Amino acid sequence: MQRNIVTVAPSASLFEARDRMREGNVRQIPVTGGDGRLAGILSDRDIRGAVLPGGLVPGFSAEDAEKFLKDTPVGKVMTRKVITATLSDTLEDAIVLMHDFKVNALPVVDRDGKVVGIISRTNVLEAFIDVLGIGEVSSRIEVIVPDKPGTLAQLAAIISSFHVNITSVLATGHVEAGKRANFFRIATLNVAPIKKAIEEAGFEILDPSRYTL
Amino acid sequence: MKRLAFAYHPDYLLHAPPFEHPESPERLLAIVERLRTAGLLDRLIPVTPDYAAEEDILAVHGREYLEKLESACRRGDLTLDAEDTYLNRHSYNVALLSAGGAVAGSKAVAEGAADRAFCAIRPPGHHAGREAGMGFCLMNNVAVAAKYLQARHGVGKVFIVDWDVHHGNGTQSVFLEDPSVFFFSVHEHPTFLYPGTGRRWEIGKGKGEGTTLNAPMAPGAGDDEYRLTFEEMLTPAVERFRPEIILVSAGFDAHRDDPLADIQLSDEGFRFLTRRVAELSDAYCGGRMVAVLEGGYEIGSLTSCIEIHIRELLGE
């Protein structure tokens, strides 16, 4: 989560909230009271939605919109029912929450309801990039294995016999029943002998030219 | 017929792996033997490389990295980091001589002693960044040549075409913010192949935004896809950039017989790549073109493609 967060008071104007969001380059901003406790959340969409009805009035100018933003307090527009994460929630919890409740960001609150951070979709994507080892200098190999215990250990042993580091592993289901797919990112350019050894051990290497990008 | 310089030094064979490894001295031995039996060697202008000058290397690599590399070789380390990038006690000097080969070929072309040059050098260079050798590469030969041409021969704009099947991450990083060197790389898509960079939106940074261009190819792509990429991406890029010379990071591991990747180029595909770049250099930079060897690990396809490459460079 991000610990340096931009917040805004319910009494602040939408104009000020928009400025803070722009400065912090965020699209959601937790709304906190004087005690630091979470009072709501405001998104750039909430602000646009609040201005929109005025835009339908004939003669509504940019100046009128600015005046409206300056005159309207955040507390009037914010979402009060906020989906939050707690400090003891895991990254998995956060991903499921964001998916199930269709939210773009989760304020993180402590036991007292004080906001201590925020997790955005961008943070989740960063975690995925990290976990998948994307951007680390490496090669990827895909192995189809029978769905039984011990195969991952066997593959890891083969790779380690080449003195090559595994930088990430992903083991998932496979379209074929009774099989699973294991994806390895390994820190070597020289993949040919490793692929050969894996095939000689009886595993199937997925030919990348057989799937479409 | 074009006058083609050929930069080679027997000491390139001294950098040899302490264990089984695809980047071996046999690659160069086989190349030279092939050119001899094909009767091509006598038609080339031999150029004897010297060790690259310190200031030319320092234009690309940090002193700290060079010292680390030199002491690792002197200590007798077998590898730089992992087994990909092996060392022996000759490796530091051979790497200097390899960069010196790219410099020698460039010098011959810049001074007009030859129209084009092929540099049969090793270890390869395009994965080596300012502070790190990796992926069989110790010093970035093509980057040293580009900087050398700019510093010593008053060349303004240099275009680098990297058709090694692996993305030239080292070269890209050296010139990422440099608008005077255009880096174009065509390679197997980074999701599937080492080093995992060279995505289509990597286009340079700061002042260098727009002078890096990456063409990731799907596994299984071959002659047709490469032809299209050269027509649709490379040609307009050269036309817009107007370089004074084209350097080629010429790897031959995108061949269908090469075991290290999934790209399916044929011998004729490599003929097209060479011919197209030669045509572009004729059209936009007075024919000046210098190719430096990068990868290519299957001896049969490596030697036959290099024979084709040399014949095309000669303009037969």
DSSP track, A95-133 = HHHHHHTT-SEEEEE-TTSBEEEEEEHHHHHHHHHHHTT
Between the two ends of chain A, the Cα-to-Cα distance in Å is 31
Contact assignment for B20 to A193 by CB distance below 8 Å:
yes
**Could you tell me which chain B residue has the CA closest to the CA of A133?**
B196
Q: DSSP character for A86? A: E
Q: Cβ distance B202 to B214 under 8 Å?
A: yes
Which pTM was predicted? 0.89
For residues B278-306, give the mean pLDDT.
97
Q: What percent of chain B has pLDDT over 90?
A: 98
Is the per-residue pLDDT at A200 higher than 80? yes
- Give residue A213's pLDDT: 47
Helix (H) or strand (E) holding A41: strand A38-43
Categorize the per-residue pLDDT at A211 as very low, low, confident or very high, splitting at 50, 70 and 90: low
Categorize the per-residue pLDDT at B82 as very low, low, confident or very high, splitting at 50, 70 and 90: confident
For residues B288-298, give the mean pLDDT.
98
| A137 contacts chain B (CB < 8 A) | yes
Cis check for the bond before B10: say yes or no (omega within 30 of 0).
no
- Give residue A212's pLDDT: 53
**Could you tell me which chain B residue has the CA closest to the CA of A184?**
B192
Q: What is the pLDDT of residues A96-131, one digit of tens each?
A: 999 999 999 999 999 988 999 999 999 999 998 988
Rounded Cα–Cα distance for residues B164 and A196 (Å):
22
Contact assignment for B195 to A208 by CB distance below 8 Å:
no
For residues A1-23, give the mean pLDDT.
92
Contact assignment for B169 to A137 by CB distance below 8 Å:
yes
Rounded Cα–Cα distance for residues A184 and A188 (Å):
11
What interface predicted TM-score (ipTM) does this complex get?
0.78
Contact assignment for B260 to A189 by CB distance below 8 Å:
yes
Rounded Cα–Cα distance for residues A58 and A90 (Å):
50
**Whole-Å CA distances, B142 to A157, B62, B273:** 38, 16, 18
Q: Mean pLDDT over all residues of chain B?
A: 97
Task: Using an 8 Å CB-CB cutoff, list chain B residues near A213.
Answer: 189, 191, 218
Q: Mean pLDDT over all residues of chain A?
A: 91
- Give residue B6's pLDDT: 98
Is the per-residue pLDDT at B313 higher than 80? yes
For residues A32-57, give the mean pLDDT.
88
